[in-house]
Structure 1
């Protein structure tokens, strides 16, 4: 199967492209900077210039013999800067316009994709969905707040492909852990200098997933013809921020003793961004992945952190189940 990966040069996308190539799949990646994408991904990937909203380059990548699939990961990094009105508009537009382009490209193709995997996030449930420790399953409704609304529109952006007979699955990602990027790229440096500690009071719930499992579960969705609808992409056991930082400190041989007050985070990031990111409390559970047979590669936080910090990574998809 040929797979088109939007956002293929990102933190998750690069790992997914590598796993697909290892399986012998043909891979196409639309990118704003094709030269950079080729340098990052290597010669085995078909790269096309794409502005993030035009369906025609996607339709060309989808064309060709045999079945194809789309994994839509495109979206501007929500943590790349303060949430000014202009940045909030870019965060939303980068996701919604890309999803609509996927749907339009599918409609333009002689053979619509067999499956579309649409990215989203557990931010869908709202920033304080687990303030009382509530466990969030996939049936929980959309919560309040900017990120929840972004996720709602992001998920809906590609839903028209279902009218073409395309199977569609939505991956609501938790915080993705992996070497060289994501949350750990921001947390590890202060811990190494004995300045680590939880954000806010540390009581907020953190739903996390190792990048190996984020990739492995995407491959599982591609493989399984009965997989459709929404799936929480997070490890079986969420932890509080305080517990996460203690485990990170243990993995690094450093204390977790210097909490960052919520008021300081509000000054640094802005009140809204702080409340909906580092102070958010979301205790999501992968109920559907568990029930339908996905086997986690790294379900334990200590093991996952060790794998991130020593650079070791089991090839994603090694434990997926094919239909």
Structure 2
């Protein structure tokens, strides 16, 4: 069967083509819940390049994720200036697969580009009955790619007059880190991934946060450090887990801050992950801003210590920003993914009291917040990374049900989250009531691409 689509992008063809040729383009164009490239650092459209991906969310075991291998078969530009490249399946779930991409200057607009896709695919004989579902599914993916491309290009356009930066990044293999590295690289910036391995590649930096090892020489030539690394809090909060959550954040932050402070000509900025957990789990009726001293609980104490661990950098005059992350929406991981099976089965519903406020942000907007903080010389201090319009738990459930065309009338029993996270984890992560302000984020010049929950879910669920 053949599937064809064309979208208009309000950016010049040369700019759109350059974006596609950079590392990170495939990551940014692929919904995280659909597939994950084997090597997110690779890029380019050269003929013969082989690209491997694993289908399905990265949260699933590899054994449940089919391996799909494609090869760039063609890449050419014709006399009229049309750029064309073709991906063809080498091995994977389809009987045949060929995807032709076309980029042509749009004659109907000034400086725009027509992005065309022609997909020719044949399913295995045993799956032929699913063919009527494939066309609408792929059209949804193409719409996701169209939105992602235009939103990323619009973001990069706001920083087009600035020099390209070299950015060191911890936590680069996580859900946020993978997308953030790809966003920066498609903007022409250089990303050096900080990893806990001694044998590293040319764009990698070896460090050991627990052992206190980070060679300042490895940060020479780096403009900004973005520190995301830390053990996931989405686990049972046992005594040992709490210790690991704390040490993975505090030790790494202190090491980086100390190293930067002792460098004569090192990175000029540190952007560190943080969390709105600082404000305490339940603050009904309050509008929470960065000026708030914070609340009580494990997360509140953790965030205070986490941010304080960077004081050496701040005292040394290094621009330091703390991105206080909220509920991150993605189909590839985070708190939204576990809810999808229940909703798709028709038994989804709210997680806590119907009137409890939920502050959220999409995966794509959170990575743009980090990039914005890294590239903006006047952004410093705490910054709430939340969308402009928080919702109640009841509104969240209804919006998710509507996006999936499913009911949202079965509240999740309290014992469910407690089984997964323990009583304390469920109390602070699930039973939260936080109305967090994005006023300072907006005042810094950031503009969210997804401002309403309905719009956000349409994007992250590629509807």
TM-score exceeds 0.5: yes
Aligned: 1:2 with 2:166: yes
Deviations 1:153-205 (A, max 9, x none): 11111121122221011111111112311112111111111121111323221
Q: Following TM superposition, by how much is the alpha carbon of 1:239 offset from its aligned partner in structure 2, in angstroms?
A: 0.8
**Pair member with larger Rg:** 2
SS where residue 227 of structure 1 aligns?
coil
SS where residue 185 of structure 1 aligns?
coil
Instruction: Work out which of the residue numbers 360, 363, 369 in structure 2 matches 1:211.
Output: 363
SS where residue 237 of structure 1 aligns?
coil
SS where residue 270 of structure 1 aligns?
helix
SS where residue 182 of structure 1 aligns?
coil
Q: Is the 8 A contact 1:201 1:261 kept in 2?
A: no
SS where residue 152 of structure 1 aligns?
helix
Instruction: Work out which of the residue numbers 331, 334, 345 in structure 2 matches 1:179.
Output: 331
Q: 1:58 to 1:281 in 2, by over 3 A?
A: farther
Partner of 2:54: none
Q: Which has the higher helix share?
A: 1
SS where residue 440 of structure 2 aligns?
helix
- Unmatched tracts of structure 1, length 5 or more: 312-323
Q: Is the 8 A contact 1:191 1:197 kept in 2?
A: yes
Aligned: 1:92 with 2:246: yes
**Aligned equivalents of 1:210, 1:221: Cα separation in 2:** 17
Q: Following TM superposition, by how much is the alpha carbon of 1:110 offset from its aligned partner in structure 2, in angstroms?
A: 3.6
Q: Is the 8 A contact 1:121 1:173 kept in 2?
A: yes
Q: Following TM superposition, by how much is the alpha carbon of 1:263 offset from its aligned partner in structure 2, in angstroms?
A: 4.7
Aligned: 1:57 with 2:203: no
Instruction: Work out which of the residue numbers 424, 428, 448 in structure 2 matches 1:276.
Output: 428
**Structure number with higher relative contact order (C-alpha < 8 Å, ≥ 6 residues apart):** 1
Q: 1:181 to 1:100 in 2, by over 3 A?
A: same
Q: Which has the higher strand share?
A: 2
CA RMSD of aligned residues (A): 2.0
Aligned: 1:142 with 2:294: yes
Partner of 2:384: 232
Q: Following TM superposition, by how much is the alpha carbon of 1:55 offset from its aligned partner in structure 2, in angstroms?
A: 5.0
Partner of 1:298: 450
Q: Following TM superposition, by how much is the alpha carbon of 1:141 offset from its aligned partner in structure 2, in angstroms?
A: 1.1
Q: Following TM superposition, by how much is the alpha carbon of 1:30 offset from its aligned partner in structure 2, in angstroms?
A: 1.5
- Unmatched tracts of structure 2, length 5 or more: 1-164
Partner of 2:237: 83
**Aligned equivalents of 2:352, 2:441: Cα separation in 1:** 31
